[in-house]
Amino acid sequence: MPVRYGIIGCGAIAQRRHIPECAANPASKVAAIADPVKERVDAIAAKYGAKAYTDYKDMLKDPNVDAVVVCGPNTLHASQSIEALNAGKHVLCEKPMATTRADAQAMIDTANKTGKYLMIGLNQRLMPPHVRAKEILASGKLGKVLAFRTAFKHPGPEGWAIEGAKSWFFKKGQASMGVTGDLGVHKADLLRWLLGQEFTEVGGFVSTLDKKDQHGDLIDIDDNAYLTFKTAGGVIGSMILSWTNYGAEENYTVLYCEKGVLSLGTDPVYGVIVNYRNGDKEMHKVGEMSTNEKQVPSGVIDLFTKSIESKTPPEIDGIEGYRSLDAILTAMEAAVAGKITKIA
Ligand SMILES: NC(=O)c1ccc[n+]([C@@H]2O[C@H](COP(=O)([O-])OP(=O)(O)OC[C@H]3O[C@@H](n4cnc5c(N)ncnc54)[C@H](O)[C@@H]3O)[C@@H](O)[C@H]2O)c1
């Protein structure tokens, strides 16, 4: 029997990734969808033969739902995930898993208490160039990583979100964080995973430079961040995040290692390029990375489905989500304080 999913929030990520990916996998099924916007949820539920709910609380009582995908506004992630876990559902929660450390911890505690799985949608780890990079680093061919620079920059979520510039993404009460929470948490997670080390210190600038809401007013959350991190093993690196890159999206990472340089997402054809210190060069053509303009399957639902079916706890769990969130919350606190700050 396929894993029967209930989706909370049927906006951009649900319609472009989670729902089609769930429907495409014979091991999973879109059983129900909940969204307060009735016309939206009715239309999408009808398209996929799922049951429509305008209140997710009603959907959580549905015995035909085994697992829930939480993919609405950031500030709702924690409470909805906790309610779903308490209702006996496994939970795949979008990033950032929560907007405070206390909420993230409460999600982990509830998953532990109920014995239900909690996975966080930190999909950068699954993108083909990043998977290949992890293999190359694990092979030891490049030696230790010494430093990195990474960037995630696009023109802003208004070109992506279902309600455009009116979106919750630009409302502090619903988003809590701007680009640092949106794209930074992806990059913090990717680097923690690639390096196999925790971040220990961070500092930098987090600013609102240009992004306007639907009224033409400057948003009251961050649209740019320029950060510097240090890891437990002494790796240092820079992270640039932007919602005001009014050109082609950038999602690249360069790792400077003892025996060469590993470049990911810097070339449109070769997702992974290795320049060895001895002059050798490797060009790897691997699968593409998803961008806001071009969707490729994320693999997130497939991985969670496999985890549920095989009764194996998900690797990208609440603790991983917490650590990536903690690095980003600390970065934002460090920017306000204007000093390099330790990550707990
Ligand atoms: N992993 C990724 O790469 C990735 C990419 C995009 C978005 N996301 C995350 O997914 C989440 C959703 O983003 P999006 O781009 O789909 O936003 P969106 O604005 O396009 O859609 C959000 C949907 O949530 C619905 N909603 C609002 N309140 C709700 C409630 N109380 N109950 C149920 N639904 C409710 C809205 O009506 C809307 O349909 C965000 O947390 C975002 O950070 C992750």
State which fold the 3-121+298-315 domain adopts: Rossmann fold (3.40.50)
Ligand 1 within 6 A of 81 CB?
Answer: no
Angle at 170 between CA 212 and CA 14, to 5 degrees: 130
Ligand 1 within 6 A of 231 CB?
Answer: no
Q: What pLDDT, on a 0 to 100 scale, did the predictor assign at position 174?
A: 98
Q: Which of 105, 81, 64, 63 is nearest to 8 (CA)?
A: 81
Sheet containing strand 118-120, edge to edge, reads: 51-53, 28-34, 3-8, 67-70, 90-93, 118-120
- Per residue of the chain (344 residues), what is the pLDDT tens digit? 999 999 999 999 999 999 999 999 999 999 999 999 999 999 999 999 999 999 999 999 999 999 999 999 999 999 999 999 999 999 999 999 999 999 999 999 999 999 999 999 999 999 999 999 999 999 999 999 999 999 999 999 999 999 999 999 999 999 999 999 999 999 999 999 999 999 999 999 999 999 999 999 999 999 999 999 999 999 999 999 999 999 999 999 999 999 999 999 999 999 999 999 999 999 999 988 878 878 788 899 999 999 999 999 999 999 999 999 999 999 999 999 999 999 98
Q: What pLDDT, on a 0 to 100 scale, did the predictor assign at position 29?
A: 98
Ligand 1 within 6 A of 34 CB?
Answer: yes
Ligand 1 within 6 A of 11 CB?
Answer: yes
Q: Where in the chain is the domain with CATH 3.30.360.10?
A: 124-294+324-342
Phi-psi map region of 299: left, alpha, beta (phi>0 left; psi -120 to 50 alpha)? left
Q: DSSP state, 76?
A: G
Q: What pLDDT, on a 0 to 100 scale, did the predictor assign at position 293?
A: 78
Q: Where in the chain is the domain with CATH 3.40.50.720?
A: 3-121+298-315
Q: What pLDDT, on a 0 to 100 scale, did the predictor assign at position 297?
A: 84
Q: What pLDDT, on a 0 to 100 scale, did the predictor assign at position 101?
A: 98
Q: What pLDDT, on a 0 to 100 scale, did the predictor assign at position 287?
A: 83
> pTM for this one?
0.97
Ligand 1 within 6 A of 104 CB?
Answer: no
Ligand 1 within 6 A of 161 CB?
Answer: yes
Range 124-294+324-342: architecture per CATH: 2-Layer Sandwich (3.30)
- C-alpha distances out from residue 276 to 36, 128, 236, 258, 259, Å: 53, 21, 20, 9, 6
Q: Tell me the angle at which helices 101-114 and 77-86 cross, rounded to the nearest 10 degrees.
A: 10
Residue whose pair of structure tokens reads 């059983």 in the numeric block: 31
Minimum CA distance residue for ligand 1 atom 9: 94
274 CA from centroid of ligand 1 (Å): 36
Q: What amino acid occupies position 218?
A: L
206 CA from centroid of ligand 1 (Å): 23
